[in-house]
Structure 1
């Protein structure tokens, strides 16, 4: 009905990839995330929020596999795109900051991660509120990182 080149097809590919990801089926998720990203770029252009979402999802997959050097440029591109398209104080920007901070935390790059977590918390608090689930998660992520940094505290 829709044909192969339709935004709904890209969304379906992304959703199936997310399902596989949630099941730990990373090798099956990756080609679907890549196909969704390519299709979204082709149909929507490089500068679209859905492209940023696809970049973020692929980066998350790579991070989960320990493929940090592949994840970082995707997270950075998603963050830049979201800031450009949605503004600096958008919840998706906060999510991107949190994700990039999480990558840095995974690598022990705590001094790079902390200001990103703080930015994410500030944005989420302003836009979503103090008690929003994302705000709480971002605060918890920062707290966990600080505990990893200083295990005796």
Structure 2
């Protein structure tokens, strides 16, 4: 299992670095090893299936991504239950995939399921909960449901500021998303303020990484 876990970690690392063909090779190797050692329905196997689904999604290989994520979801529901946090991770990932495919009602259903599960399991202020709130805000914006979008994005922003600080990348991404929303509403001074804040925060973070 040490070899399998090393391959899994390398696959995730390559994925984070954008080295997607190398990531796929490592994750496929990991999946085959886990299927042989643990079985196809073991939660650890299903985690790798989930990660491959995300990788295919990042490569815009959306049918393959959906097949992997659906396999992961069905397996996790059976092995861990529908409300386990690992199951909810895959539910949220399917929401992201459906949004990318333009299947917005299905995306909303997945996000809402993930949100309710995270709130129950982790609380309303956990970062996983806030990530899903942010995703719902962006989805509502795509649907033209701008007041609902603003409510969600403001909620995500306040939670991130409290949990992670004003200059964390997740906080700044939500600031940027609010800038886009205000721009779409024609609220240009507010949009500019959000864009300026996001830019300044990103510059500060990059500057800090240079001297750390």
Q: Same fold (TM over 0.5)?
A: yes
Post-superposition offset of 1:68: 0.5
CA distance, structure 2, for counterparts of residue 23 and residue 90 of structure 1: 29
Match of 2:77 among 31, 41, 44: 41
SS at match of 2:181: helix
Match of 1:5 among 41, 60, 63: 41
Partner of 2:92: 56
Partner of 1:26: 62
* Count of residue pairs brought into register by the alignment: 153
Match of 1:66 among 91, 102, 117: 102
Partner of 1:83: 119
Q: TM-score by structure 1 length? A: 0.97
More helix by share: 2
Partner of 1:92: 128
Post-superposition offset of 1:116: 0.5
Partner of 2:51: 15
Q: Which has the larger radius of gyration?
A: 2
RMSD over aligned Cα atoms: 1.1
Q: TM-score by structure 2 length? A: 0.70
Partner of 2:143: 107
Runs of 5+ unmatched residues, structure 2: 1-36, 190-212
CA distance, structure 1, for counterparts of residue 69 and residue 41 of structure 2: 15
Post-superposition offset of 1:151: 6.9
CA distance, structure 2, for counterparts of residue 152 and residue 43 of structure 1: 49
Partner of 1:135: 171
Q: Is the 8 A contact 2:138 2:149 kept in 1?
A: yes
Partner of 1:147: 183
SS at match of 2:166: coil
Q: Is the 8 A contact 2:88 2:114 kept in 1?
A: yes
